Amino acid sequence: MATEIVMPQMGFDMKEGKVARWLKKEGDPVRKGEPIAEIETDKAVVEMEAFGAGVLRKVLVHEGRTVPVGEVIGFIGAPDEALPGTASAPAAPAQAPAAPAEAKRPVAPAVAPAPAAPGGEVVASPIARKLADEMHVELRQVTGTGPGGRITKEDVLAYVEKRKAAPAPAEAPARPAAPAPAGEQVIELSKMRLAIARRMAESKRTIPHFYVQVAIDMTEAMTLRKGLNEALGGGVKVSVNDMIVKAVAATLGKFPLFNASYVDDKVHVHPQVNIGIAIALDQGLIAPGILDANRKSLVEIARASRDLAERARQGVLKAEEYTSTTFNVTNLGMYDVDNFTAIITPPQSAALSVGAVKPQPVVRDGRVVVREMMVVTLCIDHRVTDGAQGGLFLKELRAALENPVSLLL
Amino acid sequence: MATITYREAISGALHEALQADPRVFIMGEDIGDYGGSYAVTKGFLKEFGPDRIRDMPIAESVIVGTGIGAAMGGMRPVVELMTINFSLLALDQIVNIAAKIHYMSGGQITVPLVIRTVSGGGNQLAASHSQSLEGWFASMPGLRVAVPATPYDARGLLRTALKDNNTTIFVEHSLLYPLKGEVPDDWYTVPFGKAEVKRQGKDVTIVSYLRMTQVALRAAERLAQEHGIEAEVVDLRTLRPLDVEAAVESVKKTNKCIVVEETWRTGGFGAEVVGQIQEAAFDFLDGPVMRVAGKDVPMPYARKLEQAAIPSEDDIIRAVKAPA
């Protein structure tokens, strides 16, 4: 019995996904668990695994096409088994019922190239077919605007334009580059790097960022941390970042606008607080989430973050872990960085950049003392909220971290 | 270079042929004393005399038949059928003798005959005097059919016809006679079987001939001005031999084609043009090759009805803009 490949739900609010790239061709063998396609959601490009073993028998939804979650996009099965009828597969708009008397096609049945597909043959003009062939366009993906839904040359060209604008890695037409000057090294970007490049550029292009900064006195927190880790006895270690995550999660509970997304002139406040912690990998950066962080204890957060870092390095994160984050925390403290400003990861509307904890001279009660100081920068989407709220958020965060016992509650 | 009318271009070519070659002579109704019903042979009788400019009775079969006989005998006659409607009375002579005798005699007999005639409507001459039948002759092996749209082509094609050893149906249009155009002072000819791009464009190919080429050119101007569409107009110039190469090359560029002709749509020669174009340019077409042609009616006498029956600039513009 053939296994259906279904557009997966890869995020709690995911409604549809785009098949960015098939990693297997029809006829290729597939092992259970092997990555079979790259699915693009509005949050990330994610690999999906095969849930069955066999051969990729049929691709129903081709690269570049977006379908609702749950739709069958292909079949895995034995090389010779019959595939179930796929009457449920919605026909592309281009498939007008095979044109009646107008049928200009003088093609003898023996010559018919197009596979008999569920919705019938695609109606496309000769030049449209020629172009589609040359430009590697799957006609089923194209919307036809000619009479009777015929795909015209314009339609194919419009599709190619759209495909260029879409960030599918499958596209990549080699632009004839100027010959590199001697000694210059040209680096091919990894999938992850490309995805980051695209997402960050889009973020900066569309989100009006502004930044609010505060220096937090972490002296008490560092003391508490030491004591905690001694008490825990080595099984789990609580890090500075874990405490920050806990504090941020609690603060987000009180400032829900920072746990939201700006979509089409509306702000969607998320019910779950999923804090993404940025983890550096060889090939780039990933920010898997500690889900429901505001309902986890500090120790649970510590365990979760350790586990995430471990699995991130092994490359075995679950898709929902990095597609459902609502607020990211990036910590560059380990590099002794004083402070920095991050770029908000869409569709989030805020993020926290964390610097190193360093002994600094500060003024307390009119006297200069040395305290463990850490500067954080809150990055905010100005469409959602503004400076005053940012200030209040940081005030709350700072209060939590400067009275760290509250983190144990 | 001189700017002359279509009428003058034809008249001049006849005049120079009469002067250069004593074998050339003209026969037709009202071509001598009257100077030609469209004034093409005005003054010829006086200049060349009644032996070479011969008024004939209203007997088209005789006109063509004697022309055939003279041609077979070594002369190079130019006969006139006042309108192509009257060719119906000479069809047997044209189709069964003029077109075929060279073949049927195993090449022994030639009929170097030019049959000049006027095609088309638009003058309220009603059903029996407004037909466009040149397409019929274009189907016949053995004939040449010339359909000039400009003074330049008229003179150039007529010169070629006068030198050709086959029978040429040289088709003129009454509404084209006053059309002015540039014609070189030096000798030139226009070959049979060579269409010409009269206007360059990238958005759509309009193929036409005779008066419809002029209508298409005006429609193309309006398409550019009013709709930002650049039409390429291909003028066939001769229907037999037929050259679709220019049209096919054009379609490879524009991916859209419309064939415009004055005759009735059903079975009009335009259908042949469409057939040849789609055979050669199928893979380049964004839609079927469409036709704009005369309505399938006997030509009405009433002015507005007549205008509605003949393809207009508006009809062409509408066809270009319609999804097809």
- Assess whether pLDDT exceeds 90 at residue A91: no
Number of structural domains, chain B? 2
B32-66 CB burial, b ≥16 within 10 A, e <16? beebbbbebbeebbeebeeebbbebeeebbebbbb
Residues of chain A with pLDDT > 90, as a percent, come to: 43
Inter-residue contact B168 to B114 (CB < 8 Å): yes
Q: Residue A12 has what pLDDT?
A: 66
Of the two residues A40 and B15, the one the predictor is more confident about is: B15
Contact across the interface for A125 and B286, Cβ inside 8 Å: yes
Contact across the interface for B285 and A152, Cβ inside 8 Å: no
Distance (Å) from the C-alpha of residue A146 to the closest C-alpha of chain B? 7
CA distance A272 to A270: 6
Which domain, by its residues, includes B32?
A: 2-183
- Fold designation for A109-165: Dihydrolipoamide Transferase (4.10.320)
Distance (Å) from the C-alpha of residue A134 to the closest C-alpha of chain B? 13
Contact across the interface for B285 and A146, Cβ inside 8 Å: no
Q: Residue B219 has what pLDDT?
A: 98
Q: Dump pLDDT digits (tens) for A241-295.
A: 999 999 999 999 999 999 999 988 889 999 999 999 988 887 778 889 999 999 9
Are both B176 and B208 inside the same structural domain?
no
Question: What's the rounded mean pLDDT across residues B169-190?
Answer: 98
Question: What's the rounded mean pLDDT across residues A171-180?
Answer: 55
A127 closest CB neighbour out of B283, B323, B324: B283
| Per-chain mean pLDDT for chain A | 83
What is the model's pTM?
Answer: 0.54
Q: Residue A370 has what pLDDT?
A: 96
Q: Residue A120 has what pLDDT?
A: 64
- Assess whether pLDDT exceeds 50 at residue A92: no
- Fold designation for A193-408: Chloramphenicol Acetyltransferase (3.30.559)
> CA angle, A147 as apex, A145 and A148 as ends, to 5°?
95
Q: Is B129 a catalytic residue?
A: yes
Average the pLDDT over each of A9-18, A109-118, A226-235 and give the range with the smallest value: A109-118
Q: Residue A66 has what pLDDT?
A: 83
Question: What's the rounded mean pLDDT across residues B75-88?
Answer: 98
Q: Dump pLDDT digits (tens) for A385-409.
A: 999 999 999 999 999 999 999 888 7
Inter-residue contact B41 to B32 (CB < 8 Å): yes
Q: Dump pLDDT digits (tens) for B199-231.
A: 999 999 999 999 999 999 999 999 999 999 999
- Range(s) for CATH 4.10.320.10 in chain A? 109-165
Distance (Å) from the C-alpha of residue A124 to the closest C-alpha of chain B? 8
Residue B188 domain flag: no
| Residues of A tagged active-site | 382, 386
B117 class by beta-carbon count within 10 Å (0-12 exposed, 13-18 middle, 19+ buried): buried
List B residues 197-216 in contact with A (Cβ-Cβ < 8 A).
Answer: none
- Assess whether pLDDT exceeds 90 at residue A164: no
Are both B16 and B147 inside the same structural domain?
yes
- Assess whether pLDDT exceeds 50 at residue A100: no
Q: Residue A113 has what pLDDT?
A: 32
Q: Which residues, in sequence order, are bridge partners of residue A370?
A: A361
Q: Residue A177 has what pLDDT?
A: 55
Are both B23 and B163 inside the same structural domain?
yes
Residue B10 domain flag: yes
- Fold designation for A3-77: OB fold (Dihydrolipoamide Acetyltransferase, E2P) (2.40.50)
Residue B191 domain flag: no
- Range(s) for CATH 3.30.559.10 in chain A? 193-408
Inter-residue contact A380 to A258 (CB < 8 Å): yes
Measured between beta carbons, the chain B residues lying within 8 angstroms of A126 are: 282-286
Q: Phi, psi at residue B272, to the nearest 5°?
A: -65, -40
Q: Dump pLDDT digits (tens) for B3-45.
A: 999 999 999 999 999 999 999 999 999 999 999 999 999 999 9
Q: Dump pLDDT digits (tens) for B126-151.
A: 999 999 999 999 999 999 999 999 99
- Assess whether pLDDT exceeds 60 at residue A173: no
3-state secondary structure B133-163: CHHHHHCCCCEEEECCCCHHHHHHHHHHHHH
Question: What's the rounded mean pLDDT across residues B285-289?
Answer: 95
Q: Dump pLDDT digits (tens) for A295-319.
A: 999 999 999 999 998 888 877 777 7
Cis peptide before B241 (omega within 30 of 0): yes
- The answer to whether A68 faces chain B, any CB pair under 8 Å, is no
Measured between beta carbons, the chain B residues lying within 8 angstroms of A125 are: 255, 285-287
Contact across the interface for A104 and B288, Cβ inside 8 Å: yes
Residues of chain B with pLDDT > 70, as a percent, come to: 99
Q: Phi, psi at residue B122, to the nearest 5°?
A: 115, 0
Q: Residue A169 has what pLDDT?
A: 53
B285 closest CB neighbour out of A126, A147, A154: A126
Contact across the interface for A146 and B323, Cβ inside 8 Å: yes
Most confident range (mean pLDDT) of A17-26, B231-240, B315-324 is B231-240
- ipTM at complex level: 0.70
Q: Residue A176 has what pLDDT?
A: 54
Closest-CA residue to B253 (of B230, B276, B223, B269): B230
- Assess whether pLDDT exceeds 90 at residue A77: no
